[in-house]
Structure formats: C-alpha cells, structure tokens
Amino acid sequence: MVERPASAPFTQGSTDVILDVRNLKVDYVGAGGSTPAVSDVSFTLRRGEVLGIAGESGSGKSTLAYAITRLHKPPAEISQGQVLYTRPDGSVVDVLSLDEHELRAFRWEELSIVFQSAMHALNPILRIGAQIEDVIVAHRPEMNGQQRAARVIELLGIVGIPSDRANSYPHELSGGMRQRAMIAVGLALDPEIIVMDEPTTALDVVIQRQIIEKIMELKDRLGFSVVFITHDLSLLIELSDTIAVMYGGKIVEQGSADDFYRRPQHPYSRGLLASFPTLGGPKRELTGIVGSPPDLRKLPSGCSFRPRCPLAFDACATKVPPLFQIQGPGGGLSQAACLLHEKAGVAAGGGADGGADNSTDELATGETR
Ligand SMILES: Nc1ncnc2c1ncn2[C@@H]1O[C@H](COP(=O)(O)OP(=O)(O)OP(=O)(O)O)[C@@H](O)[C@H]1O
C-alpha cells in the first residue's frame, strides 16, 4: 500500500501557510486533576497541502482536531497557544479569539471537519439532502430553494452519490455512502481547509480506498487543504505531503512524507511504520512496538517514549528532548524529538535557520547503545 508519489520537499517558513498552530496546549480538567492531552504542539499547513497526523490511540490526535476547530467541550480546555488562519486575501484570523458568531461563520465556510463516524455525526431522522441543505440555509440566506436544491444535487454528484439518494435517511445508506455524505456536508460551502479525523476507519479496505481516492481527486479539483488524522501510518504516507507523528500529546517527528518514508527519524515513528503492512513494498515481518502508550497523567521522566524505546540510553531518563532539526534523505528539513539527534542537531525554534544531516547510525541501522 505504501507507495510514495513524488511531492514537494518539506520547507519551513513558507509564505503560503494557511494554518499556523503555535504551542497549543489542551488539558482535560477534572476534580481529580488535569490530563495534558495536547502539549506544546506547533505545526503549519500550507495551501493545497495534505498534512497527515499519526499516532497510536490516546496520543491526542482527536483532541488536537477538536481544539483547532474550537469544537472542544469541557472538560477540555485550551490553556496555551495560538491557531492562526490566513484567508485567501492574506488577512489573518486568530481562531482562538473568535466570538461565537464569528466562529459559526469560520466553521463550514473557511474550515470544515469530517469525523470518524458518519452514523453519529449525521442526524438519523433527517434525509441526507435536507442535512446538506441545512448548512446552506444557515450560511447562504441569499440562495432560494431552487438554487439550494441544485447545489445539493451538485454536491452529491461531487462525492459520487446518485441524486435520488438525497431523499434517503442515513440508516438507508451504506457506511461508505454515509461517509461520502459527510464529506458532501463538509464541502457545502467550499471551505479552504478540511480536517478529517479517521474518516475511513470504520469502512472496509475497498471502500476506504474509494473514499481516499475521492478525497484526493476533490482536493486537486477544488484546491482545499487537508489535515488528515489517522493511526494508519501507511495510509498517511501515501496521501500526505507532510507528516506529523504524535506521542503522549506531543509531536515527536514532522517532515515531508517522502523523507519520512525513506528514513523515519524518531524510534517511535520507526516502530509505528513497522506495525503496518505495505502492499506495494517487499514483504517484511511486522514487529510493532512493545508496551503501551503512556498514561498522560503520569508521564515518565525525560523522554516519554523511553520505556518502550529500543534505543534509549541514560540521558533519555532525565532530559526531555526538544524537536531537533534534521536534514532528511531527500534534502528537506525534518524535526525529531530524540536525543540521538542532539549531537549534530539544532533545536527547532532555537533561532537556527538550517539543520544538520544528523541521522544517527543507530537510527539508520537499528543498533542499540
Ligand atoms: N473527556 C475526557 N476527559 C478526560 N480525558 C480525556 C477525555 N477525552 C480524552 N481524554 C484523554 O485525552 C487523551 C487523548 O485522547 P484523544 O482522543 O485525543 O487521542 P487520539 O489520539 O485521538 O486517540 P483515538 O485514536 O483513540 O481517538 C487520552 O489519554 C484520553 O484518555
């Protein structure tokens, strides 16, 4: 399955950034204390790009998706950070400062979200066509009934649902069709960004493939950018331009999907990659990662991946690794939060404007210290 199409190299400081997430922190705050689900997460999404976010269950992916769309609800609280969205006209929107009215316009019009379970996201007692029309009624009051009906048919056509299905209820559609209907709702107002949180996880492999191909075709045709969240790293490598890997609420590696596929720079990414079969590549043993994801309320000292890391050494127990900049095999810059990169690396955000090719022998060969 993992066959990397050629794509643009990962560059930092691009002027074409559409979404800029800076030092975001999200906690679940309860009587028993606070769970740091997203810690100091920063990334950029460029116009027309697919950014893939990977990580095991509980790594904070969904919390991040909800927070950047401001759909998070108590006990989740954003305690730090910025989410900056740049409109096509160049004006910048501070998403975390929008009031409720502004937020309603921002969602759907500028950014929409497609969730994992269409069955839960769609209203079970409303026909599909009516659900798409509802979004249009709320945001395009100038459109009359005839124009709205035409737009509903157009949207169903775009996602490959026959127009007579506009009158079906969600339970009358297959899982794949429901997911397509969710995508049609997400596209209703031509948003600039679509956040997709495990949009195909509940579907069988063939339908999953069809939906992914449809999303990629629509992205190329309509020009939106995508944040695609899944635990399936093979899938992400295939469809993303850049990849961010989350572990224990933090991004531990990010870079171009090409570089990532050729040489993952964090031991966790390597383990994650080895957990998924590749249909296109040579047969190899699936090794996975020993142990379980950490309890976010009791993260180990130093590097939170240390207890599961085959390459851990003494300093990993005491030092929290920052993201180091690394030159990837394709020449682009990647970042990895692993002390193996410390010697030759440059801490990202530390004012350096370049990285070193500090891919260590250990990471290249899998040797342990
Ligand atoms: N309502 C909540 N209250 C307290 N903690 C929560 C709540 N929702 C999620 N969490 C915790 O936040 C962490 C991140 O969860 P999140 O759902 O964002 O992870 P994820 O990577 O999306 O996982 P999955 O792939 O299973 O959806 C988990 O440890 C989870 O236990």
Q: Is the CB of 35 under 6 A from ligand 1?
A: yes
Average pLDDT over residues 216-230: 94
Confidence check: pLDDT of 165 > 70? yes
Nearest alpha carbon to residue 132 among 192, 191, 184:
184
Q: How far is CA 206 from CA 174, 211, 237, in A?
A: 13, 9, 18
> Tell me, what's the pLDDT at 118?
59
> Tell me, what's the pLDDT at 284?
59
Beta strands in 214-368 (DSSP E): 225-229, 242-247, 250-256, 324-327, 333-336, 346-347
Confidence check: pLDDT of 136 > 70? yes
Q: What tokens appear for 191 in the block?
A: 């948003």
> Tell me, what's the pLDDT at 1?
38
| pLDDT single digits (tens) 57-80 | 999 999 999 999 999 999 999 999
Confidence check: pLDDT of 351 > 50? no
Residue nearest to atom 11 of ligand 1 (CA): 37
| pLDDT single digits (tens) 108-120 | 899 999 887 656 7
Average pLDDT over residues 319-334: 91
Percentage, residues of the chain above pLDDT 70: 85
Residue nearest to atom 28 of ligand 1 (CA): 58
Q: Is the CB of 60 under 6 A from ligand 1?
A: yes
Q: Rounded to the nearest whole angstrom, what is the distance from the C-alpha of residue 79 to the centroid of ligand 1?
A: 16
Pairing of strands 50-54, 242-247: parallel
Q: Rounded to the nearest whole angstrom, what is the distance from the C-alpha of residue 177 to the centroid of ligand 1?
A: 27
Q: Which residue has the higher pLDDT, 202 or 356?
A: 202
With the most atoms of ligand 1 within 8 angstroms of its CB, the residue from 35, 64, 250 to mutate is 35
Q: Which atom of ligand 1 is nearest to the CA of 249?
A: 14
